[in-house]
Each structure stands twice: as C-alpha cells, then as structure tokens.
Structure 1
Amino acid sequence: METNVVHKTDWLLAIEGKVEPDEVRKEREKLLRRFTRGVKLPGFRPGKAPVSMVAARYAEDVKAELVEEFASRAYREALEDKRIRPLSQGRLTHWNFIEQDELRFEVEAEVMPEIEVRGYRKLKLEPVTKPSGDELVERHLETMRERSARFEPVDRETREGDYVRCDYSVYRDGKKQDKQTGVLVKIGDRENLPQINAALVGKKVHEIAEAVVRYPDDAGELAGREATFKFFIHEIKERRLPELSDEFAKETGFETLQAMRSKLASDATEEAERIMQERREDQIFAQLLELHPFDPPPSLVEERIRYLLVRLRIPDTPEARQEVEPKAAEHVKLDIIIETIAEKEKISVSDEELEAWFAERAERMGIPLPQAQAIWRREVAMNEARRRKIIDFLLQQAAEGGLIVYPDSH
C-alpha cells in the first residue's frame, strides 16, 4: 500500500492511499474466510457455505470492510510515521476501485497546526497607564448598587429598560402555536427580537402589545416564516438602584459607607496592578497573533465558543456565536502559539513551582492549601502554571517603551 500525506489547510490533513490489485485480492480472501465462518446460508451448516456463494451474497459488506481496513491502517501508520497530533477521528471522504481491483481512497482528519514560531524574543512593550484607584472604587460601588437593585411597580407607559410581567401567545398561519403566562420580559433586551422590543414600548397595564416578526434564515424549519406575538401586560416594573449611604453599606456587610470605601480602596491597589499586567499581556498577545497568521482548527474554535457563551452567560444563538467567534479563534491561536514556544524553549514546571502555584491560589481565595489542591486537578494546575511561566518568559523579553534584541533572537 502506498500513502501520501497532504496538508490541505493549516488544520486539515489528507491521507491518500493506493493499494495494488494483488494486495487487495489477498485481503479480500482473508475477509471472505472470516465471513464464511460466521454466516449461515440456507442448505448449509454454519460456516460450511461455499466461499463463492458468500462472496456473491455479501459482496457489498466485504467491499465496505475491505476499504475500512486499508483506510484505518493507512491512517494509523501516517499518524505514527509523521508524529501527527489528530484532533478528530479520521474520516473516509471517498474511495473507488479502478481497473484490476486497484483501490484508491482518501482519509481526512483535523490536526493541530504545525507552526514555526518566530519574533517572540523581539516583542515590544509600550508603557501602560495605571488605573485610577478612585475610578476603580466608584466602579465597584456602582457594581454593588447594580446587584442590589430593586424592581418597583410604576403607573405609566413602558419605556426601554422597564420590565413587564405579561402573558403572551404566538400565532403562525392564523393558529395559536404557543402560550406562556406570568413571564417577566425586559424591554430592550438583546435576547428579544427587535420587533418585540419596539412593540412593548409605550404601553400601559392591561394593554396588548402586538409584534409581527419574520424568522431569520438560520432559524431551521421556521426560517423565512412569519409569526405574530401578542403580549397582555399585567404589571410594569422599573429597576431602581439604592442610594449610597450607611444603610446600604450595612446591607452589604460594612459598618459605614466610609468603611466600605476604605476596603474597596485597599483592594483597588492590587486590582490596578492586575489590570496593568493584563494590558501588558494584551500587547504581547496582539503581536504574537500578527506574527503568526494561520487558520485555527474549527473543532477547537467551536469548543471555545461554547465556553465563552457559558462564561459570559449569553444564550447560544446564531447572533451570539457570530459575536464571540473572532475572540474564540484568537484564544485558540494564542494557545497553539504559546504551547509551541514552550516546546521550543523547553519550558516546564517543577514540583516546587507547582506547589507555589497552589499556595498562591490558596492565599488569593483565602482557603487552606489542601482545599486548593482538591479544587484543581494536578494536570489542570500544571497546565495553568506552565502557561503563566511562558507568558512571564515572553514579558521578560520585552522592555517598557523600547525594544530588546537578543543575539540569538528567533
């Protein structure tokens, strides 16, 4: 059997196979003997039917298994010989028998891109601005107010940002298809269809809002169809934030508003350093992406899209996926670039460094070290610690506001 490995894209590998007629016939004979032992044909005892009859009866099954055998063998051998890291199972894309039983086939597999990292010892860091401690304190106070917001009934027409408690029905082709009662809807929420948000504005309690919508082209069996939504409004609520006061501070666990501000100011110092570190890392990441243009594997991008949607608490919709996909692709590419640099620089994590990583996590979370070690599996912790070490290595190669060029730069 002859095989040829072809990279169709950065992440798509094709294994082309060619099997000579003699080899095909030998393998077919082996398969037929195996089939014969396991089948029972009318008039013959199990395993005693003539091979010629078995070949005629199970011709397509034998052919399919024959192709599968050669394709699987070619796939395994290619992975071993070329030291390929597959991200998916091999997929037989096409096959055919040509003159005199010669078999030709192709197997595709998604693989980890092989990139040549360069320029990572010449990265440039511009000075970063330290965030204002006062601004961070005010931002945290506003976040705490948002979390303590109250929903209070109002007697007026609805506005964008209001919440309405309502019943709604959905009609398609003149028939009621769905009905929900006691639903709380935020007017202007991006999860709502635009027509629904528009219809709910300017209504009063006990009025009906009606919206006619056309489902988008990616809505499956509903694509292109129209539906009418009818909302009966029971109650209008306005979201109100609490005033900053000693009373509010006590509700959140502080004696006074001043005590709350003092604690937030103390935390802001550490947060400012973290933000500056993130801004430096963002500079490094942007340069690495520019230096290494390649297409990331779709399966890894899909996995990261799902992760981001869950982390950001965004519903899994086509619009949301389109929004987060560029960031997901960047994350995957950075992971591949950083891992490749680590392999090239032979960066690893010692047991002492791993223990230090656990200790730092325990201190940050205010928990005992054994508890931190129980939260993170050792393998996960090792990967996190290694990634941190690689990023620190890259930051060390750059200088604030300048350019470091090493004699052995890549």
Structure 2
Amino acid sequence: MKSAVETLSPTRAKLTVEVPFEELKPSLDKAYKQIAQQINVPGFRKGKVPAAVIERQFPGAAREQALNDILSAKYAEAMQDNDLTPLAQPEVEVTKYDDQGPLEFTVEVDVRPEITVPDYEGLEAVVEDVEVTDEDVAEQVTALRERFGTLKDVERAAADGDFVVIDLVATRDGETVEGAEVAGMSYQVGRGGMLDGLDEALTGLSAGEEKTFSSQLVGGDLVGQEVDVTVKVTQVQEQELPAADDEFAQLASEFDTFAELEADVRERLGRGKRLEQAAAARDAVLEALLDKVEIPLPDTLVTEELNARRQSIEQQLQFAGLTMEKYLDDEGKTIEEFEADLERRVRDALAAQMLLDEIAQGQEFEVTNEDLTGYILRQAQSQGQDPQQAFAHIQEHPHHLQEYAAEITRGKALAMIVEAAKVTDKSGNQVELKNLRPDGTIGEPAEDATEDATEETTEA
C-alpha cells in the first residue's frame, strides 16, 4: 500500500491511498465465501458457488462488501504510517476501484496538530493563602449545633432564620396550577432556592396570616411562567441550639471538651483549604504553561464540545428547575457573555488535553488497576452515583477504560509539571504540593523516608 499526505491546515490533512490488487484479493475472497454461504444457486452446493457465478448473479456485490472491510483497515494503516491522530470522523472518497486494478481513495480528516512542548521547568504561579479564620470555625460549629437543635413554637412574626409551617398554592388566571399546591410544609425563612419572593413574603407574617405575591414556577409544564402565589403561615418556630460547651462536644463528637472539638474543626478546615489551594495551583500552573504555546484547534471539534457542554448545562438547569434566562439573570450575564465564556473554557480545555497528551507520550506513564479503580470511585462520588453502578457500567462499556486511562495519564503529566513549578502563596511562602496527601495532610518527603530506611538497614 502506498499513501501520501497533504496538509490542508495545521489541524486538517488529506490522505491519498493506493492499495494494490494483491492486497485486495484476501478481502475479495472472503466476501465471495460469505456470499456463497448465503445464496442458493441450482447445480451448486451451498457454500461452493464459484466467484464467477456469484459475479454473474450479483454483479459487484462482493467488491462492495470487500470495500467496506478494506477501507477501515487501510485508512487506519495509512494514518499510522503517516503518524497522524484523527480527531473526528473522516470524509472518504473512492476515486478508483477496478475489477483487477488497485483501489484508490482519498480521506480528509481533522487531525491532532503538531505541538512543540514548551519548557515547563520552573513555571511560576501564585495562589491564595491558606487561612482558617475564627468566623470559618464558628460557622462550622454552628452548623453542627443546628443538627442537634430543637424547634419551639413562638407567638410572633416570622423572621430570617425561623422555621415556618406553610400552605402554598400557585394560580394562573384564577386557576390553580396543577402540581403547584402544598400543605403543611416546613420551611426555613431565608434559605432560598424554592420560589423567588417567598422569603420576602414570609418575613413579618404570624401564624394564621397569609400573603399573595408574583413569582415564576421552577418546575412542571409552566416552568418560567409568571403565577400568583398565596402562602399561609400555620406555625412559626424558633430553633434552639445546644450550648457550645463540653457537654455538647461529648454529644456531637468523640472529644471530651469543646476546645478539642473546635481544634479538630479548625484542622479539618485547614486540610480542606490546602486541597483547594492545590487545585488552584494546578489550574494556575496549567494556565501559565498554556500561555507559552499556541495550539490550533479544529473548528468541528470545538463546535462538538460546545454543543455537548450547552446540552449538559441545559440539563442541569432543568433538573434545578431553572430556565436559561433565569440563570443568566441571576449570574448578571448576557447570552453573548455566556457564550464567549463557554467557548473560552472549551478551547482552554481542549488545548490542555492535547498538550498534556503530548507531554505524557514522552514520559510513558503506567496506568495501574489501582489508578483506574480510584478514578472510577472519584467519578462516581462527584456524580452522586453508587460505585457499584459505576463499575457495572464499565463492565457493559469497557471502551470507556481507554478514556479513563487517557485522563489518568493527563493527570500524571500535570502533577509532574506542577511539582517542577515554583508555586507560592500571596504572602510569599512556598506551597507544599509534592508531599500533599489526598486527605489534605502533609506527608514526609520521599527522600527523607529513603534515607531513614537506609539508616535503619545500616544499623541492623
């Protein structure tokens, strides 16, 4: 087989492929045998019909069947011979296919561009300091106390933070909206997330009072439509929290004193903030690396990813009971700003994937079963999915493992780059990333562990 490549653009190539007849013959012979098994011709046993007879009875059928088999194999071979990586479905045109002559065809396809990896040693990035304030600790402790709080009825108007029991009904043009009527529902004033205007309507209402306001439905067939909502308060309740003392610490935790509980909360917040800082460091280092290289992207690939992202966002908004218009209004964005931001993020993500793939190829990272298991578990957790369901999905669709392996190697490549970078916080302190554990604690340097092991061996 002969092939030649013409570069149409940095991300698109045209292959011209010629396959001699001797390489076509095995596929043709296979096609004739398959057809012979499927037809009945008087005078011949099934499966023993000669090729010439098949050709007279079904002219061109074998050649057509063989072509489908040949094209995919020879296309893949030509791409490999010319060191090209496809990024989309190819456009194939058969230009010559004679009975005894060669097969000639052309292929136009979007391909991975050639990328010159920039020097990533000593990249610099600055991230926010890790700071756990007294307010952070107090907020977490209050949330814990609220879990053990009790409610008591009060004879006063509802205020922010109170719990109320309400009856609610939405009407449109005087008719009750189906599915928009509830009774005896408990709701915390100021919590938000249910109906716009509900918190404002409830504030100041006492038990037995009601109020009507206008809002938009967040679900059902009339999502986003203006309706009149009448809410009636039947109970106003105040939450009483347990005292922040040693007795509460013993009730809510394994600690004997409240001071120990606060210290544990502060430590856990610190670990979480270190992990957030590490994530910010990875993003900052990757951004600094991308700034050093220009990576052309195929328009078709960008368009496909944009459409996929839009669909995902629309599904999430629908699940949350929001329209795109409502979401944009809440975010203070125009549709043009939303689209521009989305395209920027898509282009950055695709460029990062290609660059990290290029770096990973030069490192030959190993992807272990432990890596794959950890990745699947993290994916399941982030999507709120049962891990068993995630593993069952992989068994049914094993081709996803290749995608997961690619993501893992990209992660290893990025981790290598980040470890080689100089990352400091805004106070000028070096950020510890190499020895950061998944739980947010800082481990011992690997070098020190090796030295300790050597010393112990020597002493023994």
TM range (shorter): 0.5 to 0.7
Gaps of 5+ in 1: 216-221, 355-378, 402-410
2:139 — aligned with what? 142
Report 1:201-350 matches (<5 A): 201-202=200-201, 211=215, 227=225, 233=231, 242=241, 245-246=244-245, 249-253=249-253, 254-265=255-266, 281-294=282-295, 295=297, 330=348, 333-334=351-352, 336-338=354-356, 340-341=358-359, 344=362, 346=363
In 1, distance between residues paired with 2:321 and 2:161? 24
Aligned with 2:93 (options 95, 99, 102): 95
Asked if structure 1 preserves the Cα contact closer than 8 Å seen for 2:167 and 2:232, the reply is: yes
- What letter is aligned with 1:93? E
Secondary structure of the corresponding residue to residue 16 of structure 1: strand
In 2, distance between residues paired with 1:8 and 1:148? 66
2:121 — aligned with what? 121
Secondary structure of the corresponding residue to residue 121 of structure 2: coil
Secondary structure of the corresponding residue to residue 201 of structure 2: coil
> Structure 1 residues 138 and 288 mapped into 2: Cα distance closer, same or farther (>3 Å)?
same
Secondary structure of the corresponding residue to residue 120 of structure 2: coil
In 1, distance between residues paired with 2:122 and 2:189? 50
1:181-230: CA deviation from partner (whole Å, max 9, x where unpaired): 578889999977xxx52477526776666656799xxxxxx9x9985667
2:57 — aligned with what? 53
In 1, distance between residues paired with 2:109 and 2:239? 57
Report 1:8-27 matches (<5 A): 16-19=15-18
Offset at residue 288 of structure 1 (A): 0.9
In 1, distance between residues paired with 2:176 and 2:8? 50
Aligned with 1:392 (options 415, 419, 427): 419
Asked if structure 1 preserves the Cα contact closer than 8 Å seen for 2:32 and 2:54, the reply is: no
Offset at residue 252 of structure 1 (A): 3.4
Offset at residue 237 of structure 1 (A): 8.0
Task: Give aligned-pair identity as a percent.
Answer: 13
1:78 — aligned with what? 78
Offset at residue 52 of structure 1 (A): 2.3
Asked if structure 2 preserves the Cα contact closer than 8 Å seen for 1:208 and 1:230, the reply is: yes
Offset at residue 54 of structure 1 (A): 1.7
In 2, distance between residues paired with 1:95 and 1:38? 30
1:261-301: CA deviation from partner (whole Å, max 9, x where unpaired): 33445567767766766665554333112113434966899
Offset at residue 37 of structure 1 (A): 0.6
2:332 — aligned with what? none
1:106 — aligned with what? 107
> Structure 1 residues 71 and 343 mapped into 2: Cα distance closer, same or farther (>3 Å)?
closer
Report 1:347-366 matches (<5 A): none
> Structure 1 residues 228 and 263 mapped into 2: Cα distance closer, same or farther (>3 Å)?
closer
Offset at residue 106 of structure 1 (A): 3.0
Gaps of 5+ in 2: 328-337, 372-404, 429-460
In 2, distance between residues paired with 1:131 and 1:160? 30
Asked if structure 2 preserves the Cα contact closer than 8 Å seen for 1:169 and 1:180, the reply is: yes
Alignment: residue pair count? 349
> Structure 1 residues 76 and 94 mapped into 2: Cα distance closer, same or farther (>3 Å)?
closer
TM-score, with length taken from structure 1: 0.54
Asked if structure 1 preserves the Cα contact closer than 8 Å seen for 2:306 and 2:343, the reply is: yes
TM-score, with length taken from structure 2: 0.49
Offset at residue 120 of structure 1 (A): 1.9
- What letter is aligned with 1:262? A
In 1, distance between residues paired with 2:343 and 2:192? 18
In 2, distance between residues paired with 1:28 and 1:232? 74
In 1, distance between residues paired with 2:130 and 2:248? 26
Secondary structure of the corresponding residue to residue 197 of structure 1: coil
1:223-242: CA deviation from partner (whole Å, max 9, x where unpaired): x9985667664668899795
Question: Higher relative contact order at CA 8 Å, sep ≥6: structure 1 or structure 2?
Answer: 1
- What letter is aligned with 2:37? G
1:372 — aligned with what? none
Offset at residue 256 of structure 1 (A): 3.9
In 1, distance between residues paired with 2:237 and 2:3? 69
